[in-house]
Amino acid sequence: MGTDQVNALQAIGVPVQTINSSTPLAERRLIMTDMLSGHPRTRLLYVTPELCQTDSFRRNLSIVHRQGQLTRIAIDEAHCISEWGHDFRPAYQELSWFRKNLDDPPVAITALTATATPRVRSDIITILGLNFAKLKLFNTPSARPNIHYEVRYLPNYDEDDDISPEDVRVQDLLAWLKAIKSRQEARIGAHAAAQRPPMSGIIYVGLRATSEDLASRLDSDETISAVAYHAGLNPQDRTRIQAMWTSAQPYQQGSNGKPPPTFSIIVATNAFGMGIDNSQVRFVVHWTPPRSFEGFVQESGRAGRDGKAAASLVYYNTQERDRIADRLGRDAENVRNRGGPKAFVAGLLKNQMARRESYQKVVRYCETVTKCRHALIKDLFGDYELEEMGSQQPQSAYGVVKPDPLNPSASPCDYACDFCKEGPSGLAKRRGRMDAADALYGFMMEQMNYEYS
Ligand SMILES: [Zn+2]
């Protein structure tokens, strides 16, 4: 993750170094010698929270601080510090050492995260020992005005069905893409549309195998270039795909003798994320319900960073919903059965509970058919509370949709969601394609409460 950022910064001439588990000892020594020289050439050093736990690194950092060479500590993915965060890592909590020990003069601390709910934000502030009076808080809204949010409800799979659930989704997605292509051609003409660079999209899947299978299926379509991306790729493939993806016009020639594609799609597990910049992603699809609401907000938010219209789709049915709920239940069971210090296990269990709560929000997001999705995301994420805590909204790059004073009943999102487009009855009818949704939903919630009581 950090490696992508380090490479990108080095490429534009920023004197940046990194020490991580794969840094050779000799290189480590060179970097530390430079850091301790009193006038280091390195201006930015990337390290892991695990390294910050070691006595030798802490000792060295204190020396750099005493030499007046440490101006700021930035903690990326700061939500990992909180047991209520969806990616809790115990080593992050030890970062409280910075505030306690680098206090004369106090070193500036910046904490960054794309997924801090109000509870997680409070935890970050408390655990790092940040001074509320001196603190500056910034946040951008969780739901973005230029993204059209939509849930695609799927029928549950029955063994008698002659079409697999995967096929249903593939057909639905192809139809959706085809409609986009037709609309574009109607708007600007077929010839002009063919000259355009392909539209980029990301499909998030749960498993590596799914990402491989789906990518090759989609790639066989004439209008689509698709590649799989997951943590199991070798570094060369990873680099190649990243380079292709971040360049402005991927696949100009079309691969395998195909004509230039209309769509360039990455089918990714959630290993695909930070440090890979493409501001022109037009759609993000969740092939199955996301496992956490924060993850959903972050991943769907990779669409439309250029401020232009983009879309977020989630494929959903009650079978997939319950399958993920079961897996989260098993994870919690595994944590309970593992050994270790009581407080440590208690922390992990709290985190499992937070994961379940976060997943319940995903379920609420997907099953609610009575509210604008933009409003729903902001409610579930706690945007209002975050504003209450005091935040300066940076001038948004994504534009703001203002309510129309002459028409107060107009859509809160300017018709950028399925609820506002289809209305409650249209949406409820679509959701009705799933079987007995409410009964199962109630069952699952009961089961969750039982497991944590
Ligand atoms: Zn809406």
pLDDT in tens, 37-96: 999 999 999 999 999 999 999 999 999 999 999 999 999 989 999 988 878 888 999 999
Whether residue 382 lies inside any domain: the answer is yes
Whether residue 263 lies inside any domain: the answer is no
Phi-psi region of 38 (alpha: psi -120 to 50; beta: other; left: phi over 0): left
pTM, to two decimals: 0.83
Instruction: Determine the distance separating the centroid of ligand 1 and the alpha carbon of 318, expressed in angstroms.
Output: 23
Residues surrounding ion ligand 1 at CB below 5 Å: 372, 374, 413, 417, 420
Q: Which residue, 81, 101, 134, sits at the end of a domain?
A: 134
Instruction: Determine the distance separating the centroid of ligand 1 and the alpha carbon of 361, expressed in angstroms.
Output: 18
Whether residue 434 lies inside any domain: the answer is yes
Q: How far apart are CA 197 and CA 250, in angstroms?
A: 8
Distances (CA, A) of 332 to 33, 339, 348, 353: 44, 13, 9, 8
Are 314 and 398 within one domain? yes
Nearest to 262 by CA among 184, 330, 172: 184
Are 17 and 150 within one domain? no
Residue 397, pLDDT score: 43
Cβ of 253: how many Cβ atoms within 10 Å? 10
Are 332 and 388 within one domain? yes
Whether residue 186 lies inside any domain: the answer is yes
Q: How far apart are CA 263 and CA 199, in angstroms?
A: 5
Are 313 and 413 within one domain? yes
Are 74 and 176 within one domain? no
The total of structural domains in the chain comes to 2
Are 148 and 27 within one domain? no
Residue 396, pLDDT score: 47
Per the listing, tokens 């494929």 go with 315
Q: Which residue, 85, 104, 134, sits at the end of a domain?
A: 134
Q: How far apart are CA 341 and CA 328, in angstroms?
A: 22
What CATH code is carried by the domain that includes residue 72? 3.40.50.300
Amino acid at 439: A
Quick one: DSSP state of residue 138?
A: B
Instruction: Determine the distance separating the centroid of ligand 1 and the alpha carbon of 147, expressed in angstroms.
Output: 10
Q: Which two tokens stand for residue 338?
A: 């593992």
Q: How far apart are CA 266 and CA 303, in angstroms?
A: 13
Q: What Rg, from alpha-carbon coordinates, does the chain have?
A: 24
Instruction: Determine the distance separating the centroid of ligand 1 and the alpha carbon of 447, expressed in angstroms.
Output: 31
In this predicted structure, the answer to whether residue 367 has a pLDDT above a threshold of 80 is yes
Interior angle at CA 447, CA 446 and CA 451, nearest 5: 120
Instruction: Determine the distance separating the centroid of ligand 1 and the alpha carbon of 423, expressed in angstroms.
Output: 9
Whether residue 333 lies inside any domain: the answer is yes
Q: Which two tokens stand for residue 353?
A: 């509970």
Q: Which two tokens stand for residue 50?
A: 């695990």
pLDDT tens readout for residues 182-198 = 999 999 998 888 888 89
Are 125 and 7 within one domain? yes
Instruction: Determine the distance separating the centroid of ligand 1 and the alpha carbon of 375, expressed in angstroms.
Output: 7
Whether residue 227 lies inside any domain: the answer is no
Whether residue 224 lies inside any domain: the answer is no
Whether residue 203 lies inside any domain: the answer is no
Are 152 and 284 within one domain? yes
Q: How far apart are CA 325 and CA 91, in angstroms?
A: 27
In this predicted structure, the answer to whether residue 253 has a pLDDT above a threshold of 60 is no
CA atoms within 13 A on the CB side of 403: 9
Instruction: Determine the distance separating the centroid of ligand 1 and the alpha carbon of 373, expressed in angstroms.
Output: 5
Residue 255, pLDDT score: 54
Angle of helix 25-35 versus helix 55-66 axis, rounded to 10? 30
Are 25 and 173 within one domain? no
Amino acid at 80: C
Are 171 and 111 within one domain? no
Instruction: Determine the distance separating the centroid of ligand 1 and the alpha carbon of 396, expressed in angstroms.
Output: 19
Are 182 and 45 within one domain? no
Q: Which two tokens stand for residue 191?
A: 């010839």
Q: Averaged over 304-328, what is the pLDDT? A: 93
Residue 109, pLDDT score: 94
Residue 71, pLDDT score: 93
Where is 402: in which H helix or E strand? Answer: none
Q: Which residue, 134, 159, 184, sits at the end of a domain?
A: 134
Instruction: Determine the distance separating the centroid of ligand 1 and the alpha carbon of 86, expressed in angstroms.
Output: 26
Instruction: Determine the distance separating the centroid of ligand 1 and the alpha carbon of 401, expressed in angstroms.
Output: 11
In this predicted structure, the answer to whether residue 443 has a pLDDT above a threshold of 50 is no
3-state helix, strand, coil in the chain (%, to 5): 50, 15, 40
Are 335 and 439 within one domain? yes
Q: Say how many Å lie between the first and final Cα of the chain, rounded.
A: 37
Instruction: Determine the distance separating the centroid of ligand 1 and the alpha carbon of 420, expressed in angstroms.
Output: 4
In this predicted structure, the answer to whether residue 25 has a pLDDT above a threshold of 50 is yes
Q: What contacts 154, CB < 8 A, 6 or more positions away?
A: 165, 168, 169, 172, 315, 316, 317, 320, 433, 434
What is the β-pairing status of strands 263-268 and 108-111? unpaired
Q: Give the domain range for residue 66.
A: 3-134
Instruction: Determine the distance separating the centroid of ligand 1 and the alpha carbon of 412, expressed in angstroms.
Output: 6
Residue 29, pLDDT score: 95
Residue ranges in 94-224 assigned as alpha helix (H): 96-101, 118-128, 165-188, 190-195, 208-219
Instruction: Determine the distance separating the centroid of ligand 1 and the alpha carbon of 14, expressed in angstroms.
Output: 42
Per the listing, tokens 């079987």 go with 435
Please give the share of the chain, as a percent, with pLDDT higher than 70.
86
pLDDT tens readout for residues 346-366 = 888 888 999 999 999 999 999
The total number of residues shown for the chain amounts to: 453
